[in-house]
Structure 1
Amino acid sequence: MATSTNEDRWSLLGALGALDEDEPVRPRTTRDWVVDIVAFLFALAWVFLTTMEELVWQEAADAGRIYGSAWLAWADLVPGLAMSVALWWRRSKSAMLAVICVPLGLFSAASGGAALIILFTVAVHRRFPVAAALTAANAAPGLVYAWARPDPGVGYWQTVAWIVGGSVILLLWGSLLRSRRLLVRSLRDRAERAESEQQLRVAQARQLERARIAREMHDVLAHRISLLSLHAGALEIRPDAPATEVAKAAGVIRASAHQALQDLREVIGVLREPAADGDPERPQPTLADLTTLVEESRAAGTRVALELPADGGNPPDMVGRTAYRLVQEGLTNARKHAPGALVTVTVGGAPGKGLSITVRNPAPVGGGASGIPGAGTGLVGLAERATLAGGRLDHRREPGGGFTLEAWLPWPTI
């Protein structure tokens, strides 16, 4: 029989502890310590004022109305002080403390201040059904206490209205604060998750752009090395060739080797990933292919005005490819987000001064607002490409709703 009683006791404590598992308790912050100290001092002040009031009331009351003597007021100090001290555990054991307050409400007025704080904590940190049940359970003994020991200056039903109304207000106030905290926490989690996803998309866009650049450089280097092999093979087959042809072939070999080394320097540090399929990629475009790109955009319905330098020479292939990709992405963005608008593409520069590219479009035709697309991974890829080429990229939204994409790429003199 004793074993059964002990098991029932432990199961009851376990059930009370389970009520406090709704929300994890975080470490106390400075603000929490201040709030807990204020709550503790408030509970102590309640105990002191309640005890003094009971002593004064009992001394002034008739002997027949006092069921007992002043020792009842002093005895009430014990549960009042105990529950005041228990407030330091209210964040982790609020539901259990609220259950303990139920029997105390039948005879202890001094513990009422601590009970109010505990019930408010339950409403803030626990689910509404649990908070409502514990609030009702604590209000019921208060009604019995008001009937057994009525206040001489206040009627019973007025006391009942105060107890019920105060309990409802306390419950709704705490539940509202809990809902607000949960909403703020949810919004913060969403913002952090969105930021993490954005960073992941940016990193993926950079990696994909690096992989694409590396594949392009692989094709270019393979082309140049094949030229070296071809001319070297020709010299090996015809060792008695005329001196002019030998000199010409040696010049081609030297120039190709120089360009191959230059391209190799540019691709150092770029990770290469295999292409998605086994088909060879088409020859990579250069600055000379901008005219074809613009004509294709015009055929697709985009209004494009192209300005090229009259006679600026041909930049290195790496610079030309990067410029082509920048213009291509700029036209794609303009076609998607400013349909019908006139897109102006300006390319200028010279050896030693660098190559400048500007793609500008006004607001969309029809008065619609021109917005920056989605996550902006296309612009991230362009910035990565320009950086790897030794240049820089800038993009901005114009006050009138247009969009401008500007880039500068180095153009060596040799």
Structure 2
Amino acid sequence: MNASATSGLGPPPPGTPAARRRRGLREWAVDLALFLFAVLFGLLEVVLRVEAATVPEHPEWLFALDQLVGVLGCAALWLRRRFPVQLAVALILLSTFSELVAGALLVSMFTVAVHRPPPVTWRIFPLSLGATVIYVVLRPEPDLPAFVTMLFGLAVQGAAVGWGLYVHHRRRLLWSLQDRAERAETEARLRAEQARHHAREEIAREIHDVLGHRLSLLSVHAGALEYRPDASAEDVARAATVIRESAHRALQDLREVIGVLRAPVGELPQPTLADLPALVAESRRAGMAVELRREPPGPVSDAAGRTTYRIVQEALTNARKHAPGAAVEVAVTGGPGEGLTVEVRNTPPDPAAGTSVPPSAGQGLAGLAERVALAGGRLSRGPTPEGGWLLTAWLPWPP
């Protein structure tokens, strides 16, 4: 059974993929009912002719031909779904002299109205009315005036066509509503998938930005202990303290990031521009030479402050991993209307401070560029003439 049968809407509009499927149980039942209607209509005409004793007024061969045409017309109704227009035209031509094909003609007119666009129906309908006029002229009823017969034919055929047009428009409406519902369901599913994708990206950025910074501190100090086996007990204790504090904070940050899986990101504590001094101080305690210059004349939005913090955090992490012993300068400048500019510049690495570089997936700057783009800003990075590295970002700051 096809989808149109199970949905209860009947056959879909012509030209759609569903319209080319095989007929289902519902369609077979409708075809059988219409076939039986045409047969009973023809039998009724025969009975009326016999009871009225009007058969002798016409040649016997004409009555026999009329019955044969009626049988063939009813049998041809099983092709009405494949050739509705051709069948209707053929039955209209036969109805000019045969009255027993009238039932099949009504079914074919109904089929055209249901399965073909209304303009096609309005071109076929006048032909059937013309065939009625020709029939009245060729085979007039002795007991009825000609105009009564024509009005009866107009009423019956108009009812069949009107019913077919009603079914056609109702079916179009139902299929349109079903199509809209399917489209709305698809769009809702796509939006849900996009929301999950954005949530995963947000989680990945938070994990990289937060844990990458903490773990880079651990790696730098652990590498320093390995690189300097002759370090004094005081240096070892200081490095161990930094490692322990960094590990503790990394666990705290990890708990907050995992909270993204249980609560919206907006409900989690997020860093702001006011947290930059603490970030720089933490890097200084890890042994980095960092200078902070912050000159914004007023408070910025939470989104801009959070993005600025992540930019500086990622730049310090990269400098720690790829330029050990380098001096880093952080500058945050700008104002309302002109935007917020963030520059992080580091000098070339110090060969004497060689430490093991932690493995990197290379996704930090890509994620940072996405974060800046989402905020409506721009990001650029590249080497400096002195052999260092410069990362520059611009964020919008409404006046």
Cα pair 1:84 1:111 within 8 Å, conserved: yes
Change (3 A) 1:240 1:81: same
- Return closer, same or farther for 1:82/1:168 CA change in 2, 3 Å cut-off: same
Structure 2: give runs of 5+ residues left out of the alignment: 1-12, 261-265, 276-298, 301-399
What are the superposed Cα offsets for residues 59-108 of structure 1, whole Å, 9 maximum, x if unpaired? Answer: 467x6xx1323x43232221111111111111111101001012211111
Quote the Cα distance in structure 2 between the aligned partners of 1:285 and 1:167.
Answer: 70
Contact 1:225 1:260 in 2 (8 A): yes
Does 1:40 pair with 2:30? no
Is 1:27 matched up with 2:41?
A: no
Which sits farther off after the overlay, 247-256 or 43-52?
247-256
Q: Which residue of 2 aligns with 1:241?
A: 232
Shift of 1:26: 4.1
Cα pair distance change 1:224/1:27, threshold 3 Å: same
Aligned runs of 1:289-328 on 2, under 5 Å?
none
Q: How does 1:355-370 map to 2 (within 5 A)?
A: none
| Deviating 4+ runs (over 6 angstroms) | 20-23, 261-268
1:25/1:91 contact within 8 Å kept: no
Q: Work out whether 1:68 is the aligned partner of 2:50.
A: no
The offset of 1:49, in angstroms, is 2.1
Larger Rg over CA atoms? 2
Q: Distance in 2 between matches of 1:183 and 1:174?
A: 14
Does structure 1 conserve the Cα–Cα contact (< 8 Å) formed by 2:45 and 2:99?
yes
**Matched residue, 2:391:** none
- Can you list the C-alpha shifts for 1:242-278, whole angstroms capped at 9, x where unaligned? 37x635633542564576589789989x9xxxxxxxx
Q: Using the TM superposition, give the Cα deviation of residue 151 of structure 1 relative to its aligned residue in structure 2, in angstroms.
A: 2.7
Does structure 1 residue 52 correspond to structure 2 residue 47? yes
Which residue, out of 204, 212, 216, partners 1:226? Answer: 216
2:173 is aligned with 1:166 = no
Deviation at 1:34, TM superposition (A): 1.0
Cα distance in 2 for partners of 1:90, 1:187 equals: 27
| 1:239 match: secondary structure | coil
Q: Identify the residue that residue 78 of structure 1 maps to in structure 2.
A: 68
Who is 2:132 aligned against? Answer: 142
Amino acid at match of 2:41: W
Quick check: 1:180 aligned with 2:170? yes
Corresponding residue SS for 2:59: coil
**Letter of the aligned partner of 1:29 in structure 2?**
G
Query: What RMSD over aligned residues (CA atoms) do the two structures have, in Å?
Result: 3.7
TM-score, structure 2 normalization: 0.55
Cross-structure match for 2:206: 216
- 1:175-217 Cα offsets, whole Å, 9 max, x none, are 2221121122122212211221221122112112211221121
| Aligned counterparts of 1:75 and 1:94: Cα–Cα separation in 2 | 24
| Alignment partner of 2:269 out of 271, 282, 287 | 287
Partner AA of 1:40 in structure 2: F
Q: Percent of pairs identical after alignment?
A: 40
CA deviation vs aligned residue, 1:284-334 (integer Å, no higher than 9, x gap): 9963869x99xxxxx99xxxxxxxxxxxxxxxxxxxxxxxxxxxxxxxxxx
The residue identity in structure 1 corresponding to 2:230 is: P
Q: 1:111/1:129 Cα in 2 relative to 1: closer, same or farther (>3 Å)?
A: same
Q: How far did 1:52 drift?
A: 2.6
Report what 1:5 is aligned to.
Answer: none
Greater mean alpha carbon deviation, residues 37-46 or residues 113-122:
37-46
Pairing 1:92-171 to 2, within 5 Å after superposition = 92-171=82-161
- What are the residue-to-residue correspondences of 1:241-390 with 2, within 5 Å? 241-242=232-233, 246-247=236-237, 249-250=239-240, 252-254=242-244, 256-257=246-247, 287=269
Rounded to whole Å, the distance in 2 between the matches of 1:140 and 1:172 is: 18
Name the CA shift for 1:183/1:133 in 2 (closer, same or farther; >3 Å): same
Instruction: Tell me if structure 2 keeps the 8 A contact 1:55–1:73.
Output: no
Aligned partner of residue 287 in structure 1, secondary structure: coil
Distance in structure 1 (CA, Å) of the matches to 2:194 and 2:81: 43
Deviations 1:128-169 (A, max 9, x none): 121112121122122221233233443211111111233333
Instruction: Tell me the distance in 2 between the aligned counterparts of 1:38 and 1:252.
Output: 88
- Cα distance in 2 for partners of 1:72, 1:178 equals 37
Residues 233 and 132 of structure 1: is their aligned pair in 2 closer, same or farther, counting only changes over 3 Å?
closer
Q: Does 1:193 align with 2:190?
A: no
After superposition, the Cα gap between the structure-2 partners of 1:198 and 1:253, relative to the gap in structure 1 and judged at 3 Å, is: same
